[in-house]
Structure 1
Amino acid sequence: MAARKHGTIHWRAPALMVGSLIVGICLALGHHFFYKSLQGTEVSSRDVKIAGWKASSQQLNTAGGTAFAFVVKASLILATSVAYFQLLFRTLTTGTFTLRQLDNAYAGLEDLIAFGYLPFTWRFSMLALLALTAWLLPVAAIIAPAALSVTYAELRPSLSRPLTVPQPAFESLAFGTLYLQEEAGSVFKAFSVPSEEVSRVAQVAAAAGTVLPIAPPSINASWLVSMDAPRLACGDLEPDLVKNLRNNILEVFNTSMLNNSANTDNANKMFTYLAWANDSTIEPRPFVRDGDTWKLQTEAFSVSKDILIAIFPRAATSGTITNDTTPFGRDNTTLLDWFFADSTKLHCTLWPSTYTLNFTYDGLDQTQRIEIVAIDEPLTDILKDEWPDPSELLSYLRLPDDDRTVHQSNRTANRRFLRSASYQSIMTAFMPLVTGASGFAEVGVATLPYGGENQAPGTYPTFTTQVFSTSLLHTRELAALLPPQDKALRFADNSFNMDRDGVVSLLPSSSASSTLKPFRTAIEELFFNVTLSMASSEQLLYNQSSPFAPPAVDVTFDRFGNIYVYAEDKLWLAYGIAIGVTIFNVVIGLVVMAHTGASFTANLSTIVRIAKNASVESTAGMNEGALPGKDPLPKDFANAKLSLRSTDHVELRQMDGAEYTRVAESTATESDVQLLHKRLSDSRTIQTE
C-alpha cells in the first residue's frame, strides 16, 4: 500500500470551522431580519393550529426567535470547538502530560469541573481561554431573543375616512344680528352685533388664554383643514398717530389742570394702559370731547376693525404729571416724553385670512393640539367699504322659510357678505376685553380729576378696562404695570426677620419677565384662540343643510394596541460580541493548523491513533479489569505520563481496517493480549519514509 504523505491539512476540519462561523453569521442576520419584519406590527390575538396544537402568533414568533438564537449559538460553539481541538492536539506534541491533565484538557468544553482545572496548567492557558469563550457563548442566545418585546402603542397604518369636522359657521347668521344701512350714493353700510353666545365664548377663551375644547368626531382623531377666518395683525403705531396720541393726552391733562388750580392735591395721574377703537370715519385718537368732559373712544365697535394700544410702564412707578413744560432729568426732556420713550404703541387691524390647521386629539384625556400649518392672505380685503349689493340677501332673509333660496349668481357675494358680518361680530365681542384705560393708582381703573370746565368735584371721569382679567396679564408689558409685591411687607414688622419671611411666603409666585411673551404676540394669539373657540359651541357651527356648509375632510383615527418592538442594539450587542470572539477562535485554529501542518477531529479513531503512537510512563501497571476506561480514572493511573513519539522514528499503523476486540477477563492473559497486538500490527504495516 502506498505510503501517506505527512504535513498535509485535510479540508474537513478547516471547512467545518470556517463554515460553522459563516453559517452562524448568516443565521444572526436572519434573526435580525425576522425581528425587523415584526417591528411595529400588531400582535395578533388569533390562534394558529399546528398538528392539533393551538398556539398564538406571539408564541410562534417567540419560538422562532429562540430557535434562531439556538442555531446561532450552536454554529458558533461548533466553530470554537473545532479550533479548540486543533490547539489541544497541537499542545500534546509539545511535551509530556499526566493523564489527569489530559482528561481535563479533553473534557474542558463539556465538563465544568475539568474546565476549572485548565488554568492551573500553564501550557493549557490558551486552551483555557478558548474553553472560556465556548462556555460564555450561550449567553448570547439568552440576550438576543430579548431584543423583541411587546408594548402598548399606536398601530400603523391608521384608519381614515371623510367626516364633517367642527368649523365656525362664518358664512351664516349664527354670530349675531346683521344690520344693513343705506347711506348717500347708494353705498351700503353693514355691521353685526354679536350674539350672547359669541360674547360668552370670547370672554371664556380670553380668560383661559387657550382654544376652548372642540368636540372631535371621535377619540384619537386628527385632521388637516383649510378654513377662512379673521386674523388680528399688529404692528407699531404709525408716527403721525403717535403724535396725535401725545397731543391728545396733553390736551386732556391741560384741560383738567385748568380746573385743578384751586386744589393742587388733585394731581393728574398718567395712564399706564390705553386702548381704543376707531375706523376711518373717526379721528384716530383715544379721547374726544363729550360736552364738558372727555370720553374714551370705545363705542365704535360695530364699525371698527382697528384697535390702537399704548402701554406706559414708567407711569406705573411715577405717574404724577403736572404740565408738559416741567423739566425732567438732565436731558431736559419733559415728563410726558419720558413716559413715551419706554412705551409700547401698537396698531392692530382685523384681516381676513385663510388658515391651514392641523387638529390632533390623543392621550388618556384626549389632549387637544392645534397647529397652524400656514396662513394665507386674500387678494382683496372683504372688510373694506366695498360691499356687494345686499338686495338679494335682503330678499332672501325676508322670504318664508320654505321659499328661501340662494341664487347661484349671487352665491359668492352672499358668502363674502355673511363672512364679513361674522368677522365683525367676533371683533365686536373681542374689543371690550382689551379696550379701556388703567392708571397709576389702581390697576384696571383710570380717573381724570376735574375733567371739564363745569365738572363738579367728586364726579371725575373714570375709565376701566378688562384686559387685566384676560391671559394678556401674563405678558412682559402688562406684568410691569402690576404693583410690586414687596408693598405687602408693610403688614410685617421689618425689625423681625421671621415676620418678614412669613409675609413673603404668603405672596404669590411671580414669573420671570424673560419667560413672558411680548404683548404684540400675545394679543394676536389670543384673538386666534377666541376665533377658533367659536367652534366649541354647537350654536355657532354650520347647519349641514346650509348651501355654504364646508365639505367633509379626511379624518385619521389613531388606533392603539399591542405591537412588537425590536431593539436592534440589544441583538447586535449579543451577537456582535459572540461573532467577534468566534472569529478570534477560528483565526487561532487556522494558525495552529498552519504551524502543525495537519488538522484533527475529535473522532474516536483520532484518540486511538494518538494512543497507539504514545508512550506512557507509569509506576503502576496499566492493565484494568472489567470495562476498561470506565469512570473515574484510577488513582494509580492519574499520574502516569503520556508523550507522543516522534513520527520520524516509528512505524505508522493504518487504522482504517483495524478491529477492536473485547477480551474476556476470565480467559485473557497478558500473553494473549500481546499476541493479539502482534497480529494487528503485522496485518497492515506502512513503512515510514
Structure 2
Amino acid sequence: MVLTDTGQATARSVRGMSLESRRCEAHDDLASDPGRELDPSTSQSLLQAEAQDEPPGPSKPLQSSPPPDPTSFVTWGICWRHPVLLLCLFAGSLLVAMGHHMFYQSLHQKPVDSTIQQVWAIRIGTGLAFVYKSGLVAILSMVNTQQIWVTLRRKFITLQGIDNMFMLMNDPTALFNRHLWARAKTLILLACVAWLVPLIAIITPATLSVKASVKPQVMPSSVATVDLANATSWGTFAGAGRVERAGSEISRLFHTVASSGSYLPSSAPFPNASYDLSFWAPSYKCVNLSEAVAQSNSLTPSASYNYSTLQSGWDAEMKPVNGQSYAAVAPGFKSNALFIWSGPAAYVNSMNDRPVYANAELVCQLYNTSYEVNMRFDNGIQSITPRSIRYLHLQDWDEGTGSNSALDKKPAIAASYITYLLFQDFLVGKLTIGVSGGLSVTGTSLMKTGLAGCAEIKDTVTTSQGILGFNPGICRNKTLGRAIEDLSSNFTYSLMAAAYNLGRSNTTVPVTISAPRNFYSYDKSTLLTAYLASLSVVLLWMGIGAFALWSNGITSNTSFSAILLTTRNADLDALAQGHCLGADPLPDEIAGVKLRFGRLTRGEPASHAGFGVRGTVTAVEKGDKLL
C-alpha cells in the first residue's frame, strides 16, 4: 500500500515536472522571439496536459471558497446601471451648461458693485465649467472602456499596445503608440477628444468679462433745490423789523447773475448726471402795454392815485422828456409792477404829451411761478433746460405787506418783495442822449449787463459818432422783455448756488447717473457654441459606446477582477515567467507578443474565454456557451 502511494506520488511529480518543462520550453521560445506566437499544436498539447492533471484529493489543502461548478456557464446581459449612469451624466452636464448660461445671462449688463462680487462670479462660473467638463470626461471614459473590449475581441494587439489602450484616458504618452494608430484608430480619436474636452473649462468661464462703459443708472440722490423758507433774512431791516432794502448777500448774487448773463452753478451730485426738479418762486413776466391793457385795464382809484385805467396810469407815470431813450418806473398804484419804455431820443407830440414813436412799451409784473426743469451735469458743468415755466397768478400784496413780511414771518411774501426791490433797483432809471450826443445814465444798472445789447436799448443809444457799440449776441432771447424774464429765471436758479446760503435746501430725487462704471459683459455666442459643440460630440460618442455595449453583450470594465477573470490561460502563465511583478516599463522580450480576447480553443463544445496568442483563440460571439 505504501509502495502504491509512493508510486502514485512519483507519477504525479513526473507529470508535473514534464508539464512544467514543456511550459518552460514554450516560454523560452517566446522570449527568444517576442513576435512569435505559440504553435497551435503546442498550445493544444499544453492545454491537454493541464486537463489530464490530477484532480484535487484528500491530501490537497482546503480552499478558502468552494470551487465553481464546472457545468455553469457565463451569463450574457447588459447591467442597467451602466446606460442609466451614462444618461444621467449627460443630462446632468446639460443642466450644468444651462445653469452656467442662465447665471452669466443674469449678470449681463449689471454693474460690478464690488471686487468680492466679481471674484465670486468668476469662481461660480469656473466651478460650473469644471463640473461640466468632469461629466463629459466621465462619459467618454465609460465609452472608452466598452470600445477597448470591442477592439480586443476583433483584433490582435501587442501586449504593449494593450497596456497603452488601458492608459489612454490618463496618460497622454499612450497616444504615441504607433501600433494603436494602426489597429485602434477609434480609440485614439476618442482619447484625443477626451484630452481636448477640458479646454471647455478655460473657454466658457472667460465668456464673462468686465467692461467700463457709460450707461445711465437711476439712483435716488440728494440734490439742491429752491427753498424760500429763509427768505425773511434776505433784507436789511429798519425800525421794529421792517424790510428796508435787499441785503448785501442777495444783492451780490443778483448783480453777479445780471452781469454774467447766466445762472450760478449748483453742486453736482455726480460729475455726469441729470435729473428733473420742480419748485416754485416769484418771477417777472413782461408784456406789451397794449396786451396788459387788454387783459386788465380797469383800476380802482385811491386817495394817492386817481387812475381809473392802466392806460391812464401809464400816461401819468411815463412823462416824456426830450432826448430820453429809456425810462423805467415802479408805479406806486400797481404793486410790484415795472413800466419800461424805450425809443429814439423823444420828440414830444404837443397834442397828447406822448412820444410819437417807441421801440418798446413794457409792463413787467411779478407772478407766483411754477418751474419744472431738467438739471444736467457733463463732467461737472451744469446746464438747465426748462421743461415748463407756468405763471400761475399775480402777486397780491401792497408796499406795507411786503415791508412787514419778515416781521409777520411770511417768507413767501418776503422773497417776492425783495425780488421786486432788486429788479426795481436794477431797472428803474433813465437813459438820455444829450445835445452833444453823449449818453447820460440815471439810476439804472442795465448798461453794465447784457441787456444793453437788446435792440430796444442798443438802437436807441447809438450816437451819430458811433462811440457806443453793443454786441446783440449778449442780449439773451433777443428782446428786452424776454431778456428780463430770462434774468428773473436765472436769478431763481442761482438761489441753489453752492457759493451762497440763501434759497437753497436739499431734496431727494431720482438722478440718472452717466458716469463710467464697470459692467459685466457676457459673450453668449461663445459659451453656447462651446457647450453645444461639446455636447454634440459627446452625444455622437455615446452612440458609438451604445453600439459597443450592444456588440459586447455585457457591461465591461477595466477593474482588477475583469483582468483576473480574462487572463486565465496557461499560455499567459508561461509568458509571465520571470515577469510576475508587473514592473514598468514592460520588458522588450514580451512587449511585442500579440494577444486577443476570445474563445480559448481546447476542442470542447463549451470552453473558457480569455486572452490568448494567435492560434489559441477564436472569436467570441454574443450568446456563446462559455465556462
State TM-score, norm by structure 2. Answer: 0.53
Q: Is the Cα–Cα contact under 8 Å of residues 263 and 490 in structure 2 kept in the other structure?
A: yes
Instruction: Look up the match of 2:131.
Output: 71
Q: 1:588 aligns with which of 538, 541, 544?
A: 541
Secondary structure of 1:141's aligned partner: helix
Aligned to 1:132, what secondary structure does the other structure show?
Answer: helix
1:228, CA displacement in angstroms?
0.5
Distance change >3 Å, CA 369–CA 650, structure 1 → 2: farther
Equivalent positions of 1:203-602 (< 5 A) are 204-205=256-257, 211-215=263-267, 226-229=278-281, 290-291=321-322, 293=323, 295-296=325-326, 352-356=368-372, 367=380, 375=388, 377=390, 380-382=392-394, 387-389=396-398, 391-395=400-404, 404-406=407-409, 417-421=413-417, 424=420, 432=446, 433-437=449-453, 447-449=462-464, 463-465=468-470, 468=473, 528-536=489-497, 541-542=502-503, 553-554=507-508, 567-569=521-523, 573-574=526-527, 577-578=530-531, 580-594=533-547, 597=550, 598=553, 599-602=555-558
Distance 2:100 2:583 in 1: 43
CA–CA distance in structure 1, aligned partners of residues 394 and 228 of structure 2: 17
The residue number in structure 2 matching 1:18 is 87
2:603 is equivalent to residue 642 of structure 1 = no
Distance 1:634 1:601, change over 3 A: same
1:513-562 CA-to-partner distances (Å, cap 9, x unmatched) read xxxxxx999998886444312322665614xxxxxx98x74478999xxx
Secondary structure at the aligned position of 1:115 is classed as helix
Offset of residue 21 of structure 1 = 2.6
Aligned-residue offset at 1:127:
3.4
Superposed displacement of residue 43, structure 1: 5.3
Change (3 A) 1:584 1:306: farther
Using the TM superposition, give the Cα deviation of residue 98 of structure 1 relative to its aligned residue in structure 2, in angstroms: 3.4
Q: Shift in Å at residue 140 of structure 1?
A: 3.4
Whole-angstrom CA distance in 2 between matches of 1:9 and 1:116: 33
Q: CA deviation at 1:92?
A: 3.7
The structure-2 alpha-carbon separation of the partners of 1:405 and 1:634, relative to structure 1 and needing over 3 Å to count, comes to same
- Which residue identity lines up with residue 625 of structure 2 in the other structure? Q
Distance (whole Å) between structure 1 residues aligned to residue 80 and residue 258 of structure 2: 85
Amino acid at match of 1:625: G
Aligned mates of 2:96, 2:489 — CA distance in 1: 58
- For structure 1, the 5+ residue unaligned runs are 46-56, 179-190, 242-278, 311-345, 398-403, 407-413, 450-457, 479-518, 543-548, 656-676, 678-685
Match in the other structure for 1:687: 625
Would the aligned equivalents of 2:147 and 2:548 in 1 still touch at CA under 8 Å?
no
CA deviation digits over 1:154-208, x for unaligned, max 9?
Answer: 9x99797xx8955353883566789xxxxxxxxxxxx998766556445655777
The question of whether the paired residues in 1 share the 8 Å contact of 2:164 and 2:177 is answered with yes
Tell whether the 8 Å contact from 2:74 to 2:625 is kept in structure 1 after alignment: no
Larger radius of gyration between Structure 1 and Structure 2: 2
Residues 445 and 234 (structure 1), Cα distance of their counterparts in 2 relative to 1, 3 Å cut: closer
Residue 444 of structure 1 and its aligned partner are, at CA, apart by 11
Structure 1 counterpart of 2:226, from 156, 167, 181: 167
In structure 2, list runs of 5 or more residues that go unmatched: 1-70, 238-242, 293-310, 344-361, 428-445, 611-615, 617-623
Correspondence for 1:130 among 190, 195, 219 = 190
Counterpart CA distance in 2 for 1:280 and 1:112 is 109
Tell whether the 8 Å contact from 2:225 to 2:496 is kept in structure 1 after alignment.
yes
Contact kept? 2:181, 2:188, Cα under 8 Å: no
Paired AA for residue 17 in structure 1: L
Partner of 1:625: 578
Q: How does 1:50-199 map to 2 (within 5 A)?
A: 67-117=127-177, 121=181, 124-142=184-202, 165=224, 167=226, 169=228, 172=231, 197-198=249-250
Q: Which residue matches 2:433?
A: none
Per-residue CA shift, 1:64-111, capped at 9, x if unaligned? 665555433322221222223333433444444334444444322211
Distance 1:596 1:217, change over 3 A: closer
| Rounded Cα–Cα distance in structure 1 between residues aligned with 2:540 and 2:262 | 68
CA spacing shift, 1:158–1:303, aligned 2, 3 Å: closer
Q: Distance in 2 between matches of 1:523 and 1:192?
A: 24
Q: Is the 8 Å Cα contact of residues 437 and 445 (structure 1) preserved in structure 2? A: no
Counterpart Cα distance in 2 of 1:59 and 1:566: 12
Per the TM alignment, residue 227 of structure 1 is displaced from its structure 2 partner at its CA by 1.2
**Cα contact 1:17–1:80 (8 A) shared by 2:** no
**Aligned-residue RMSD, C-alpha:** 6.4
**Contact 2:246 / 2:422 at 8 angstroms: preserved in 1?**
yes
Contact 2:143 2:542 in 1 (8 A): yes
* Residue-pair matches, total: 468
**Cα offset for 1:447?**
3.0
**Matched position secondary structure for 1:137:** helix
Change (3 A) 1:233 1:159: closer
SS at match of 1:601: coil
- After superposition, the Cα gap between the structure-2 partners of 1:395 and 1:58, relative to the gap in structure 1 and judged at 3 Å, is closer
Work out whether residues 23 and 75 of structure 1, in 8 Å CA contact, stay in contact via their aligned partners in 2. yes
Aligned-pair identity in percent equals 22
Distance 1:206 1:74, change over 3 A: farther
- The amino acid that maps onto 1:228 is W
What one-letter code is carried by the residue in structure 1 that aligns with 2:226? Answer: Q
Distance in structure 2 (CA, Å) of the matches to 1:240 and 1:376: 20
Distance of 1:463 and 1:288 partners within structure 2: 26
Instruction: Label 1:371 to 1:164 Cα distance change in 2 as closer, same or farther (>3 A).
Output: closer
- Following TM superposition, by how much is the alpha carbon of 1:388 offset from its aligned partner in structure 2, in angstroms? 3.3
CA gap of 1:306–1:351, structure 2 versus 1, over 3 A, is farther
Secondary structure class of the residue paired with 1:629? coil
Q: Which residue of 2 aligns with 1:604?
A: 560
Secondary structure of 1:536's aligned partner: coil
Q: Whole-Å Cα distance in 2 between the matches of residues 232 and 554 of structure 1?
A: 28
CA distance in 1, matches of 2:451, 2:223: 37
TM-score normalised according to structure 1 size:
0.49
